[in-house]
Each structure stands twice: as C-alpha cells, then as structure tokens.
Chain A
Amino acid sequence: MTRFFNPIVIFIITLLLFTTKGLNAQEISEKEYLRLKNRLKAEFMQKLKEEIKKELIDELKAEYTVEPKQKQVTAKPETTIEINNPQDESKELSAREEKTVKYTEYQKGAGEIELDKARYRLGEGLTFGEQLLTIRGFGNVNARYKDSNPSEKFEGGNNFFSLGEFDLFMTSKLSNRISFLNETVFEFDRGEDSEERTEPIEIDIERLLIHYDINNLLKIEVGKFFLPIGYWIPTYNHGVWFYTTMDRPDIVNFQDKGGPIPTHDTGIKVSGTALLEGFDLNYACAITNGRGVNTTQRQNFDDINDKKAVSFQIDVQPHIVEGLRLGPSVYYDVIPEDEDNPKRGNEIREIIYGGHIIYTIKNIELLSEVFEINHDEFSGGVFNTFGGYAQFAYTIDKFKPYYRYDYIDYSNDDPFYRNSEFDFLDTKKHTIGLRYELSHFNALKLEYSHGVFDDEDVNIIGLQTAFSF
C-alpha cells in the first residue's frame, strides 16, 4: 500500500505544483509583461542617458581644461627666461614680488575702497551709480515780525511764518575734466493775484551747466550759471545755510525778489587762477543773453535784442595778508525796450561797476561790497544807482554774533527800476543777529533789523532755521 501511496502523493503534489506554476505563468505573461518591459525600457534609457551625460561632461571638461593648460604653458617659459637670466634675476624677482604683494593688497583693498566710497566721502551727500551723481541741498524756515510794511506793491501780513527756498544741488563728474552741475529751487510764490493767495510752487532751474576743467588757468562753463559780479553772487547765492545772516544783502537780492543786479544768466563763462609771486589772481569772464525788458524777465532760451551781456571780474588774494580778497567787477548789457510800456520805449545801456573787499580768517568774517549801476537811456537820460553793504561777524565756539549795514540809493527817475513790479526803495538798514550752530548742518539765526525805506522806519525781528543736507 505504501508502495502505491508514495508515487500517488508525489504525482498529486507534482500535478498541483505544475498547475499552480502554469496559472502563475499565465498571470505574469498578461499583467506583468508590460510592466516589466516598461521598467526594463526605462532602466535602459536611464542608463543610456547617464552614459551620454557622462560622455558630454567629459568632453566639456576636456574643452575647458585646454585654456588653463595653455596659460600655464605660456607662463612657464617666461618664468624660465626670467630666472635663467642671471643679470636681471634679482631685479625681476623683487619686481614680481612687489607686483604680487601689490596685487594682493589691491584685491584686499578693493572691497575697502568700495566701503570707503560709501562711508567716507567728504560731505558728498547721497550718491548714485558709477557716475556718482551727488545730491545735496538747502532749506530754511523763517518766522518774522515787522512793525510796518513799506512796500505799496506787495501787501502782506506783518507777523508770519514762511517757508524759504528748497534747493536741490546736484553734481556729477562725467570724466576727469568734465562735470555737470544743476541747482533747482522750489519755492512758494505769492501768485499773480496776491488777494487770492494761491501760492503756486515755483520751480526755478537756477543753474544748469557743463563744466570743462582744462587747467588752473582755464575752466569753461556752458549753460546757466551765477554771474561773476562781486563776491556774494558767485560765492553763496542760493545757499542760505552758507549765509551768516538770515537774508542776503539788499543790493545783491535776487531779481525776482526786487534785487537791482542780475544774478544768473545763460551763456558761456571762462575762469581761472594764476598763481603769481606774492598773490593769486582769479579771473572770470562771462558772455550771456543779458536782461529782459524788466528786472524779472529771464532769457534762458533766446535774447530779445540779440545784444549780449558781458561781465568780467578779478579777485586778488595777496599772500602777505592771509584771508584777504579784493577786486573789481564790471557788467555791460543793453536792456531791450518794452513795447508794452510807453515809458520804456528806448533801449537802456546798463553798466554795473562793483568792488569787493573780503577778509575771512579763523573766527573773523568781514564782507563788504559796493556797486554803482549806470543806466543810459540813449535818448539823453543817465541814471545812477549806488549801493553796498558791510558785514562783520566773529565766531565764538558755536555762536556767531554779526552786524550788517545795507545801503541803496536809487536814482529817482530811473525808467528801468521805476517801471517795475517792485518798489526799489532807497534803503538804509542796520542788522544785528546771532547765529548758533545747532548741529553740523543746521544753524539757528536770530536777528533784529532797523531799516529806513524811503524815509519810512521799519523794525523787523526774525528767526530762521537753515539747514543743509
């Protein structure tokens, strides 16, 4: 029985196994085949990709290792030559050592230079980009009280706060000898109808010029610039923070504020400094469009009468008295006739003679200027206006007490001044004040003025905060 049982069991088991195997084989062939095929295909593609990638990388590596190898090859003979030359060996080695040290220092220093540029440029203010556009500016806020208003043409309050000019000053060095300069002033105006008090914001491009720096003797400015008349106009002009006092001297006040002398104009200016034995000689000469038909009319685009204005200034700095500057200036123009004004039917020849004596050293500041304005109406009338100022200040630590005397005597019948929107009053004014440096870029000024304007006494008290940024 056992003889028969064992083969039967073996047969059954074998049959079962075969059947199971057959079933399994059938399932693989149907479901797994595609999966297996896809997997193998994917694996093959992956391997292929890796192979190609590896080959490409090797190729690229080979390409990019060529250049350094060539460099090394070219550098090697040079070194060999240098070293094999016994005469120059020590010299060349020290030169190379110096170069290496310099280069290392340079690389190390490059970052520091950039850092220094950013942090330690003296007073350059905000800078932008490679061309280094430098932006600085000025502003001031005032409070004033005056006991009367001598001007009939501008009626206003006698007790007020006022915003001064907001002045943006920009420079950019375009090359080692060429630079650009712009000064744009934003200020509130009374408006054409002062009763409506519209106070529009006036934007004035006070300077816009390109500067060619040839050498010590010759610098050329083309565009709109400060005229070289006297000292205050080409030196301080709109920078109220630079002023020791609250306001400019009356004689050099701006044309659009009732000043009798032109301060800006468009044209070409040449200037320079000759360093001579015993003194420095500074000169400036400008050819410009000149005045318009009245004191406020600008001629930035054209010249009504085509006759150019010429101004010339000399400023001498003697070495024997340090801080002293003195010199004359002259301005010539032909003012066009005003067709809308019958009293201004003729052209006027204008000649302004000026002179300045300045002494600034250590704590002492002494500024004085005089001007004579000569108007010749060609038809026979000649009118002379004379004016000037003297200012003294003495610095004691952060305090700077000051005094100024302003004087202007207008010719009574001068057709240019008497037919203007301003009064042009004869002026005798004493001003005393105190400037206090609140911070490095901010000054407080408190001052009292007593003036006689066309025989009318006026007392003015003012407080100003002037700043630069």
Chain B
Amino acid sequence: MRLASITVIVFTVIFVTNACADIAVIVNKSNPVSDISYDELKQILEARKQYWDNGERITLIFKPIVSNETRTLIDTVYKIKYDEFDKYWFLKVYNNKIMEFPKILHSTGTINILVSEIPGAIAFLGINEVSKRGNIKILKINGKMSDEDGYPFK
C-alpha cells in the first residue's frame, strides 16, 4: 500500500513537473531578433509570417504533438483539437500557402542542432532542454523571459 502511494506521488510529481514546464522559444544566434511580441510570434506560428525581417526564411520546428510544449502551443495559439494539427498544416500546404510542413522532431538534441545550423529556424522546447552550447539563443516574449511573470507560455 505504501509502495503504491509512493509510486502514485512520484508519477504525479513527474507529470505536474512536465505539464508545467515552461516553453522556451529558441532561434539561431545569428538572428537579430532577441525580443519578440506575442502577436508576431503568433503570426509566425500560424505561418502568416514566413520570413524574418532580415529576409531569412522561417523554419518552424516542433516537438511531437504528444509533447506538453506543442500541446500548450496548440491550446494557446492554434485553438484547435490536437488531432487537427496535421489537418491544419496539410490544408496550408494543399492551398499552397506554405511550401512545406513544419518539422516535427522527437529528439531535443536534434532540435538544438537544427536551430544551431539553420539561420531562420525557430523551435519550442522545455526550458531545461535548451542546449547551453551551440549557436542558439532564447527569445524574450513581450520583453519577458520564461522565469518572469507575464510570460505567455508558462
């Protein structure tokens, strides 16, 4: 009984910790943007804005749909059902609004590397998953870092 209780508590703690993980918005260090408004970020996420102001093509990189980070984005920005995420992008490709699907990658290491390598890349990771090495920087949103009050993806 005690063992079962401990297991439940441990799993609950793990789940809550993961569920509340802050999302860091990371870009390539060469990107001149270091503080982005929520509205602009929304435009990027919805592929309404497909180029950075310096002319670099934006490459969207997500973790899989089952991840807390991507689900948070779907809930707060896209406001659609998780099942419809694929359909959302497929429709954009179908009516030729975008040239290709965003990248969905399981490995956080790979996401870090891709953001390091692609000048126009933007990705959404848990704050603890961002590599401290490499050519990456974390963006402020509306002037707030992820540990500050008012950060939209807490």
> Which of A's residues lie within 8 Å of B, judged by CB?
98, 101-102, 105-106, 108-109, 112-113, 116, 119-124, 134, 136, 169, 171, 173, 176-177, 179, 181, 209, 211, 213, 215-216, 221, 225-226, 234-237, 239, 242, 273, 275, 280, 317, 319, 322, 361-362, 395, 437, 440, 468
Chain B residues whose C-beta falls within 8 Å of the C-beta of A98 in the assembled complex: 133-134
Assuming the A-B contacts A113-B110, A121-B101, A122-B104, are A468 and B90 also in contact, with contact meaning beta carbons closer than 8 angstroms in the complex?
yes
Q: What 9 A-B pairs are tightest by C-beta distance, nearest first? A: A123-B86, A122-B104, A179-B99, A122-B101, A116-B105, A109-B113, A120-B104, A112-B107, A112-B110
Most chain-A CB neighbours within 10 Å: which of B81, B85, B105?
B105
**Among B16-24, B49-57, B139-147, which stretch is in contact with chain A?**
B49-57
Quick check: B94 and A169 within 8 Å, CB to CB?
Answer: yes
Most chain-B CB neighbours within 10 Å: which of A122, A176, A181?
A122
From B48, B87, B100, B133, A280 is in contact (CB under 8 Å) with B48
- Residues in B83-142 with C-beta less than 8 Å from chain A: 83, 85-87, 89-91, 93-96, 99-107, 109-110, 112-114, 116-117, 131, 133-135
Q: What are 10 A-B residue pairs whose CB atoms fall within 8 Å in the complex?
A: A102-B133, A105-B113, A105-B131, A109-B110, A116-B106, A177-B57, A179-B100, A216-B51, A242-B87, A319-B39
Chain B residues whose C-beta falls within 8 Å of the C-beta of A108 in the assembled complex: 109
Q: Could you tell me the distance between the alpha carbons of A221 and B97 in the complex, rounded to whole angstroms?
A: 11
A120-B104, A213-B57 given; 16 more Cβ-contact pairs under 8 Å: A102-B116, A105-B112, A109-B109, A109-B110, A113-B110, A113-B114, A121-B101, A122-B62, A123-B86, A124-B101, A211-B99, A216-B49, A236-B95, A239-B91, A273-B49, A275-B49
B2 at the interface (CB under 8 A from A): no
Q: Closest A residue to B131 by CB, please name it.
A: A105
Q: Could you tell me the distance between the alpha carbons of A40 and B93 in the complex, rounded to whole angstroms?
A: 79
Chain A residues whose C-beta falls within 8 Å of the C-beta of B89 in the assembled complex: 122-123
From B86, B91, B113, A122 is in contact (CB under 8 Å) with B86
Give the tally of cross-chain contacts (CB within 8 A): 112
Quick check: B100 and A173 within 8 Å, CB to CB?
Answer: yes
B80 at the interface (CB under 8 A from A): yes
Most chain-B CB neighbours within 10 Å: which of A112, A120, A136, A322?
A120
B48 to chain A, nearest CB (A): 6
From A173, A235, A242, B99 is in contact (CB under 8 Å) with A173
> Which of B's residues lie within 8 Å of A, judged by CB?
39, 43, 48-51, 55, 57, 62, 64, 79-81, 83, 85-87, 89-91, 93-96, 99-107, 109-110, 112-114, 116-117, 131, 133-135
The DSSP consensus for interface residues of chain A is mixed
Chain B residues whose C-beta falls within 8 Å of the C-beta of A395 in the assembled complex: 81
Q: Could you tell me the distance between the alpha carbons of A181 and B97 in the complex, rounded to whole angstroms?
A: 12
Quick check: A437 and B83 within 8 Å, CB to CB?
Answer: yes
Q: Could you tell me the distance between the alpha carbons of A51 and B96 in the complex, rounded to whole angstroms?
A: 69
Chain B residues whose C-beta falls within 8 Å of the C-beta of A226 in the assembled complex: 95
Q: Closest B residue to A363 by CB, please name it.
A: B81
Assuming the A-B contacts A113-B114, A176-B57, are A221 and B105 also in contact, with contact meaning beta carbons closer than 8 angstroms in the complex?
no
A91 to chain B, nearest CB (A): 15
Quick check: A275 and B114 within 8 Å, CB to CB?
Answer: no
Chain B residues whose C-beta falls within 8 Å of the C-beta of A236 in the assembled complex: 95
Quick check: A112 and B95 within 8 Å, CB to CB?
Answer: no
Quick check: A121 and B104 within 8 Å, CB to CB?
Answer: yes
Chain B residues whose C-beta falls within 8 Å of the C-beta of A468 in the assembled complex: 90
B152 to chain A, nearest CB (A): 15
B122 to chain A, nearest CB (A): 15
Quick check: B133 and A242 within 8 Å, CB to CB?
Answer: no
Chain A residues whose C-beta falls within 8 Å of the C-beta of B116 in the assembled complex: 102
